[in-house]
Amino acid sequence: MAKQINLNADMGEGFGEYDIGDDAGLLKIIRSASIACGFHAGDPVTMQRLVTEATAQGVSIGAHPGFNDLWGFGRRRIDMNPRELEYMIAYQIGALQAMACYAGERVTHLKPHGALNNMAAEDIQLALAIGRAIKTVDRDIIYVALAGSAMEKAGRELGLPVAREGFCDRLYDDDGNLTSRKIPGAVLHDPEVVKERVVNMVLNEEIVSRNGKPLKVRLDTLCVHGDEPSGVIVARAARQGLEAAGVRIVPLPEMTLG
Amino acid sequence: MAKQINLNADMGEGFGEYDIGDDAGLLKIIRSASIACGFHAGDPVTMQRLVTEATAQGVSIGAHPGFNDLWGFGRRRIDMNPRELEYMIAYQIGALQAMACYAGERVTHLKPHGALNNMAAEDIQLALAIGRAIKTVDRDIIYVALAGSAMEKAGRELGLPVAREGFCDRLYDDDGNLTSRKIPGAVLHDPEVVKERVVNMVLNEEIVSRNGKPLKVRLDTLCVHGDEPSGVIVARAARQGLEAAGVRIVPLPEMTLG
Amino acid sequence: MAKQINLNADMGEGFGEYDIGDDAGLLKIIRSASIACGFHAGDPVTMQRLVTEATAQGVSIGAHPGFNDLWGFGRRRIDMNPRELEYMIAYQIGALQAMACYAGERVTHLKPHGALNNMAAEDIQLALAIGRAIKTVDRDIIYVALAGSAMEKAGRELGLPVAREGFCDRLYDDDGNLTSRKIPGAVLHDPEVVKERVVNMVLNEEIVSRNGKPLKVRLDTLCVHGDEPSGVIVARAARQGLEAAGVRIVPLPEMTLG
Amino acid sequence: MAKQINLNADMGEGFGEYDIGDDAGLLKIIRSASIACGFHAGDPVTMQRLVTEATAQGVSIGAHPGFNDLWGFGRRRIDMNPRELEYMIAYQIGALQAMACYAGERVTHLKPHGALNNMAAEDIQLALAIGRAIKTVDRDIIYVALAGSAMEKAGRELGLPVAREGFCDRLYDDDGNLTSRKIPGAVLHDPEVVKERVVNMVLNEEIVSRNGKPLKVRLDTLCVHGDEPSGVIVARAARQGLEAAGVRIVPLPEMTLG
């Protein structure tokens, strides 16, 4: 049976007059969109447009909740009580669910944004809080989690469907964490390098760390980015490489999750 | 068959550390709560608490969306494009639907807040925009509309269930509009006066205007307020007066709407 | 003695990760910058950068306050009490004054943004509220006002220095108001047309309306825009045309105001 | 020569319709007010009212900047880049300076709010960032710093006037830090206990820790709180105790700072 993988990207991270990222370009490449829900970015108009455009491209819709921090674009760590975080996530899921009605679609996955994603990958209490929000609002929503993170653990503990995420365009440390963006070269821009890496990730279930150490990892979804100029080119390379290697690229709800 | 009426109130209009109104007191009197959805007031924590407390009292849950104006408490008129307004309303409905999951309940009505309520009562384009949001997200949600307003018209045109609203504690002008709060005496504080008026409203389908003119009007729901110190006392008087007159006070979803 | 005129533009209208307009390009052309103050756009980091960059180019610094409406970019009309508006303007002036300290400069003019500019041009109560804020915080700040508007009147009534503003790239109606952006052709993109118009405005104190009617008007400052791709090209044409006609382009504080 | 001390309190921590704390009551007791500047609380209208009321009572005006976190009331730790924090503080100082013009007064001190105060007390980089904002905007502004904290150090390093702060109504740990509010009894409500403690603090320069250890400390200002019901009573007791012991209570600008 052919290997399959999902490609996802963050989307709709504009606000009012502002726009970031080449959403239209990425929607032709990815199969699942994580849409900003109004707290770190995204407004109701942007959200409505994205759910409609994603659906038109056969791209599945996910929530991309973040901290209540438009100025910092959700990249500042905010020390929230897990209970307050949980309700904040539930709120954002619901807001996107309503917008998804405009496309006659459902919200089928959730991936936290920015600093929240980083914190929840490390902190089981935060990861559980996000998971409880999912479970309360719609227990069929797939919890997209950095492979091996506290989020993966929390999702499994709560009995939620979990998609283990890898990153097409990021270096990894030896312990499986993403290399900090502050380290030069942490973000990959060379389409050929990316192509080779993603094929290795999916076919061999292996990521080579920045020190050359092979890490064994099973992934369900690969993240690409649209906020850098090279984003769409890198994303297209990833997709082409995978397809050339015989891998099927499918929306998250069509993945068989472990 | 006994006459029936609903009593509703605005709720959850605090924000973070801030609180306004005696929600706990009103929840024992009313049968439907219109809960602020985070734009003019309300935050995810407050919303979660209110849906839980309302449900515990058998009070039905409605959305109380407002303008994106925390500073002005949604009382400043904002000139929004109907399309943008529509999506903003859908967003707020969805957010509250998610919180309602914490109580295992559904959002069953919607009533706009403050300046938005006033504007939509007058402007059919805004009233329709709100109605389209309801229709897209959940067409069973009851559109609570000032009796005779553009909102009532819009709701009927869109085929939505409509609840015609009257106000227990407000004077009316001869044309059926509420007397402006700027006019002295526009808000009623005397429980006995209120008691007599609401019984007349429900049994005789009549409101006497501030100039003594009798206005014929059929109402499905009566609004009480909790943000003034006399609010709970006036609300209790309204309920007692109605019950003494043999009127059944029911949640909005149990009303037979015209 | 040579004619003189000021060229101004709105600046710093980004927010956090977001950016709009070619500020660096315009700073080489204009002589006065109206900097967003955090309500409709602008954050402390953006503001600090703009005051520093403007000062490095010899461009004078002005406040560009707007409504508290990041989502609508200050383009939605908000019905504010004049007293509340006044304090909101004072707040924004002060915030920019503090940032101007980073460049060792002062805030020397103020121009309202978007819907607030439109409303204050028509409504003397709002125009006076803005003027009182200026007068309270620093009565030497120049009130930039659409020539002939309620703002010009309010500024003169309060004894403030007033700079009458014209628009390089906009059509005018016969009554001297700007042609609505909704009318096709209301915004001029042809550098040669703009060049001819601005020279006529300054040398002959005349604007030809869109119906061909010559309007007599004395102007102290001309506004250019950077938020459309053609903005910098049009601005450069305006400046070159004026300089070729022997007009001196000076910062607002160097203008002799009528 | 008589001992002197300042009494300060946080003020103006309402927002729009919302209000917290008994500002009017405290203004009769304290001599310096730290006024919220619009980020964690406070809006232009509230700020204008507070500077006017404070001045009418002879109370000096200070800035009380906080994180951009209205929902969390500035009590959530936010991980900000020191440079961004610095500009955010400068912005808030400037905003209050403008409002102070309505009272013909100057902003004469600054005290960070909530989580920012806690973080800057521990982290010299944040403490220096706040200090640089003060130094840039007005180097005469007194930096109110928890005695012995990184803020005191930063203020001295930058050559700013520093007022060492103690707390009337809080327990201290043996190391001189405030006992966490999570520990029962950390906040003192008994006026007699408070009275005795503050006299000991000022006359003997000694605070007894919660374990009974005497801590030597020189203080310039004592903080009282108005957000708990007992606040005004405790504040009044502190003032009466100090005056009965012959201590002069003066505004911060009249203090001789070490």
Q: Looking at the complex, report in whole angstroms how far the Cα of residue D86 sits from the nearest Cα belonging to chain A.
A: 14
Q: What is the DSSP string of B210-245?
A: TTS-EEE---SEEEE--SSTTHHHHHHHHHHHHHHT
Given a contact cutoff of 8 angstroms between Cβ atoms, the answer to whether D215 and D221 are in contact is no
Report in angstroms the alpha-carbon separations of D140 from B210, D85, D106, D150, D163. Answer: 60, 20, 10, 19, 12
Tell me how many residue pairs between chain A and chain B have CB atoms under 8 A apart. 77
Q: What angle do CA A100, A109, A242 make, to 5 degrees?
A: 115
Q: What is the pLDDT of residue C127?
A: 98
Tens of pLDDT along B107-156? 999 999 999 999 999 999 999 999 999 999 999 999 999 999 999 999 99
Residue A20 or A127, more confident: A127
Is A183 an 8 Å CB contact of chain B?
no
pLDDT level of residue D21 (50, 70, 90 thresholds): confident
Residue of chain B whose alpha carbon sits nearest to that of C88: B71
Mean pLDDT on D103-117: 97
Q: What is the pLDDT of residue B1?
A: 62
Query: Could you give phi then psi for residue D67, rounded to 5 degrees?
Result: -65, 160
Q: Looking at the complex, report in whole angstroms how far the Cα of residue B20 sits from the nearest Cα belonging to chain D.
A: 7
Question: Which residues on adjacent β-strands are paired with residue C215?
Answer: C207
Is D140 an 8 Å CB contact of chain C?
no
Q: Looking at the complex, report in whole angstroms how far the Cα of residue C137 sits from the nearest Cα belonging to chain D.
A: 6
pLDDT level of residue B86 (50, 70, 90 thresholds): very high
Is D182 an 8 Å CB contact of chain A?
no
Mean pLDDT on A22-38: 96
Is D250 an 8 Å CB contact of chain B?
no
Residues from chain B that touch D10, judged by Cβ atoms under 8 A, are none
Q: What is the pLDDT of residue B2?
A: 77
pLDDT level of residue B177 (50, 70, 90 thresholds): confident
Report in angstroms the alpha-carbon separations of D27 from B18, D30, D241. Answer: 21, 6, 18
Mean pLDDT on A245-254: 97
Mean pLDDT on C103-114: 98
Summary mean pLDDT of chain A: 95
Interface chains of chain C (3 or more CB pairs under 8 Å):
A, B, D
Q: What is the residue type of D153?
A: K
| A151, two tokens | 């989020």
- Which of C90, C92, C102 is nearest residue D136 as measured by Cβ atoms? C102
The half-sphere exposure of B82 on its side-chain side, counting CA atoms within 13 A, is 12
Interface chains of chain D (3 or more CB pairs under 8 Å):
A, B, C
- State ipTM: 0.96
Is D104 an 8 Å CB contact of chain B?
no
Interchain pair B15, D71: CB under 8 A: yes
Interchain pair A14, C14: CB under 8 A: no
Is D139 an 8 Å CB contact of chain C?
no
Mean pLDDT on A58-67: 98
Residues from chain A that touch D68, judged by Cβ atoms under 8 A, are 69, 71
Tell whether the model's pLDDT for residue A210 goes beyond 70: yes
pLDDT level of residue C1 (50, 70, 90 thresholds): low
The DSSP bridge pattern shows strands B162-167 and B221-224 to be: parallel
- Which of B71, B79, B115 is nearest residue C76 as measured by Cβ atoms? B79
Q: Looking at the complex, report in whole angstroms how far the Cα of residue C85 sits from the nearest Cα belonging to chain D.
A: 9
Q: What is the pLDDT of residue A229?
A: 76
Given a contact cutoff of 8 angstroms between Cβ atoms, the answer to whether C52 and D83 are in contact is no
Interchain pair D20, B20: CB under 8 A: no
Is C101 an 8 Å CB contact of chain D?
yes
Query: Could you give phi then psi for residue C40, rounded to 5 degrees?
Result: -90, -20
Q: Find the helix or strand (DSSP H, E) in which A10 lies.
A: strand A4-11
Tens of pLDDT along A139-194? 999 999 999 999 999 999 999 999 999 999 999 999 888 898 889 999 999 999 99
CB atoms closer than 10 angstroms to residue D140: 13
Summary mean pLDDT of chain D: 95
Tens of pLDDT along D151-181? 999 999 999 999 999 999 999 999 888 898 8
Cα torsion angle, D11, D17, D22, D25, sign: positive
Q: What is the pLDDT of residue A1?
A: 62
- Which of D45, D88, D95 is nearest residue C94 as measured by Cβ atoms? D95
Most confident of A39-43, C146-150, C231-235: A39-43
Tens of pLDDT along C150-168? 999 999 999 999 999 999 9
Q: In this prediction, what percent of chain B has a pLDDT beyond 90?
A: 91
Contacts of C193 (CB under 8 A, 6+ apart): none
Q: Looking at the complex, report in whole angstroms how far the Cα of residue C180 sits from the nearest Cα belonging to chain A.
A: 19
Tens of pLDDT along A129-152? 999 999 999 999 999 999 999 999
Q: Looking at the complex, report in whole angstroms how far the Cα of residue B254 sits from the nearest Cα belonging to chain A.
A: 25
Cα torsion angle, A102, A91, B227, B238, sign: positive
Question: Which residues on adjacent β-strands are paired with residue A249?
Answer: A5
Cα torsion angle, B168, B174, B178, B180, sign: negative
Q: Looking at the complex, report in whole angstroms how far the Cα of residue B129 sits from the nearest Cα belonging to chain A.
A: 13
Is A130 an 8 Å CB contact of chain B?
no
3-state class (DSSP) for residue B109:
strand
- Which of A44, A83, A94 is nearest residue B99 as measured by Cβ atoms? A94
Residue of chain C whose alpha carbon sits nearest to that of D83: C45
Tens of pLDDT along B196-217? 999 999 999 999 999 999 999 9
- Which of D17, D43, D71 is nearest residue B16 as measured by Cβ atoms? D71
Q: What is the pLDDT of residue A217?
A: 93
Given a contact cutoff of 8 angstroms between Cβ atoms, the answer to whether D102 and D48 are in contact is yes
Summary mean pLDDT of chain C: 95
Cα–Cα distance measured from residue A115 to residue A126, given in angstroms and rounded to the nearest whole number: 12
Tens of pLDDT along C167-197? 999 999 998 888 988 899 999 999 999 999 9
Residue tagged 């105001």 (tokens)? C257
Q: What angle do CA A178, A184, A187 make, to 5 degrees?
A: 50
Tens of pLDDT along C211-222? 999 999 999 999
Q: Using a cut of 0.90, tell me whether the model's pTM lies above it.
A: yes
Is B51 an 8 Å CB contact of chain A?
no
pLDDT level of residue D1 (50, 70, 90 thresholds): low
DSSP state of B18: B
Tell me how many residue pairs between chain B and chain C have CB atoms under 8 A apart. 27
Given a contact cutoff of 8 angstroms between Cβ atoms, the answer to whether B30 and B9 are in contact is yes
pLDDT level of residue D146 (50, 70, 90 thresholds): very high
pLDDT level of residue B231 (50, 70, 90 thresholds): confident
Q: Looking at the complex, report in whole angstroms how far the Cα of residue A217 sits from the nearest Cα belonging to chain C.
A: 33
Query: Contacts from A209-212 at CB under 8 Å and sequence distance 24+?
Result: A209/A171, A209/A172, A209/A173, A209/A174, A209/A176, A210/A171, A210/A172, A210/A173, A210/A174, A210/A179, A210/A183, A210/A185, A211/A173, A211/A174
Q: In this prediction, what percent of chain A has a pLDDT beyond 70?
A: 100
| A234, two tokens | 């890198």
Tens of pLDDT along D33-58? 999 999 999 999 999 999 999 999 99
